[in-house]
Amino acid sequence: MKTFSHTRPIRNEAGEITGERLAPVSRVTKDALGHNFGSDKRKRLVVTLRAGDVIEMRPERTGRVYSLKAVDVYRYMIRSAANLVALEKARNKKAAKAARNAARRIKAAEARRDRESQTD
């Protein structure tokens, strides 16, 4: 498996290895970025794995490079997953509270109706 600091050998005329050079791995996404990215909406994303565990991303055919350490990307992904769980839990609590409030309003309306019918 290639690592972030992948290197390729440098060979002389005899075919002997005389050194190594960095060979970062780059790939282009299949789909374009989409309408949320303004003028880059039709461009694909170029992802490069650099030495030092750095992930670089840039829109295709641009020089605007954004980079993060792989650990930070992983941390962001974990935090996003945890936020999704917390959001779903909050939505469930909100729905349960709305159901309780609706039942309470119905019960209060029935009690008012019963009181009014007793006074008549």
CA 65 from chain centre, in angstroms, equals: 18
As a whole number, mean pLDDT of residues 6-27 equals: 92
What are the distances in angstroms from CA 118 to CA 4, 14, 111, 112, 114? 81, 109, 11, 10, 6
Listed residue (48, 9, 45) closest to 25, CA to CA: 48
Query: In the prediction, which pLDDT does 2 show?
Result: 72
Whether pLDDT at 120 is above 90 = no
| pLDDT (tens digit per residue) in 59-113 | 999 999 999 999 999 999 999 999 999 999 999 999 999 999 999 999 999 999 9
